[in-house]
Amino acid sequence: MLKFFEYNWQVRDEWFDWCRQLTIEELLKNRQGGVGSILYTLFHIIDVEYSWIRGIQGKEDIKVEFADYNTPKKLKTLSDKFQNEITEFLKTDLDEVKEELVAVPWDKEKYIVDDILHHIIAHEIHHIGQLSIWSRELEFKPVSANLIGRKLH
């Protein structure tokens, strides 16, 4: 699991670098498909990941507002902060809890920890795939999605 989180975070950070090529208007422009703009997509990935991890931990959901993180710089700071917390959590023995059922306030179903972790990972990769299309539409080279040949931190 950890390898996928590291991969996702590295790809995400490379997309933050990629964002520097675009104006804030382009980053905030609503686009077809996906969840909205490029920057909102990154916000959504970060928000969903953190919310589920807190859910697994039995912690109260913290509502973050996009309006407070609507620049790449602010959003990267949020991403780094959450990554630090999640890294600590991922160091715990997940095998012990992976079959435990989790209830969260935003979903009426309960899910096991293992499925939630899989979900978080797939969720980010899926949305990053969407960014790659928008990137080509904007005539910019997208960040590589390759997992092999990528030096993970």
Question: Cα(5)–Cα(17) distance, rounded to whole angstroms?
Answer: 18
Task: Phi first, then psi: give them for residue 104, nearest 5 degrees.
Answer: -130, 155
Of the candidates 5, 9, 34, 86, which one interacts with a copy of itself according to CB under 8 A?
A: 34
Closest approach of a copy of itself to the CB of residue 149, in Å: 6
**Size of interface with a copy of itself, in residues (CB under 8 A):** 35
Q: Scan residues 101-140 and list those touching a copy of itself (CB under 8 A).
A: 107, 109, 111, 114-116, 118-119, 121-123, 125-130, 132-137
Per CB under 8 A, 146 contacts a copy of itself:
yes
Least distance between a copy of itself and beta carbon 32 (Å) = 5
- Taking CB under 8 A as the criterion, the residue among 20, 32, 84, 91 binding a copy of itself is 32
Q: Which residues are annotated as a binding site for a divalent metal cation?
A: 44, 123, 127
